[in-house]
Amino acid sequence: MRISDIANPRQVILVTARWQDTDDIITLAWHMPLSFNPMMYAISLGKKRFSLELIRNSKVFVVNFVSKEFKEDVLFCGEVSGREVDKFKETRFEKEEAETINCSRIKQALGYLECEVVDEIETGDHILFIGKVKKAELKKHGARLFHISGDKLGELEDA
């Protein structure tokens, strides 16, 4: 049994990362708020993820909360690596510039958190990035996507 078989369902989000001229989008189910004041947020990335390399170099990332209508694109970003494809080109997601950090955001996101990395913890086969939130905005409400199990994505209405 895997930890996700017990801990799921979990809300699925997208993290955008940038280093030099490269932008990437990664699908994540492992993430959490850590503090109201200061506003802090954590994300957990497998050691082989391309986006991890970008975040390690840039020390910034954006957490993008998206609605269930983007299910296919969210799955795509969770199945292929930014080493092979430009996920902004291959999905419906459009790039917009973050305002407080040098990073991309997803234009269609319901809301976002612009984060600066303040710490990095090796937990095992994943790395936990602790981010200080520099800007947070909820643009609109919408039903979110949840990771149910394996590669199944479910939808929660009125979330």
Footprint on this chain of ligand FMN (rule: CB under 6 A): 12, 24, 26-30, 44-46, 49-51, 75, 78-82, 147, 153
**Which H/E stretch holds residue 4?**
helix 3-7
> Cβ of residue 9: shortest distance to ligand FMN, in angstroms?
10
> Cβ of residue 130: shortest distance to ligand FMN, in angstroms?
15
Question: Residue 40 or residue 77: which is nearer to ligand FMN going by CB?
Answer: 77
> Cβ of residue 91: shortest distance to ligand FMN, in angstroms?
12
Q: Which residue is closest to ligand FMN by CB?
A: 78
Contacts of 71 (CB under 8 A, 6+ apart): 145, 153, 155
Contacts of 123 (CB under 8 A, 6+ apart): 44
Question: Residue 48 or residue 99: which is nearer to ligand FMN going by CB?
Answer: 48
> Cβ of residue 127: shortest distance to ligand FMN, in angstroms?
9
> Cα 131 vs. chain centroid, distance in angstroms?
12
Question: Residue 99 or residue 149: which is nearer to ligand FMN going by CB?
Answer: 149
* Edge-to-edge strands, sheet with 152-156: 10-11, 144-149, 152-156
DSSP state of 28: E
Contacts of 150 (CB under 8 A, 6+ apart): none
Question: Residue 26 or residue 60: which is nearer to ligand FMN going by CB?
Answer: 26
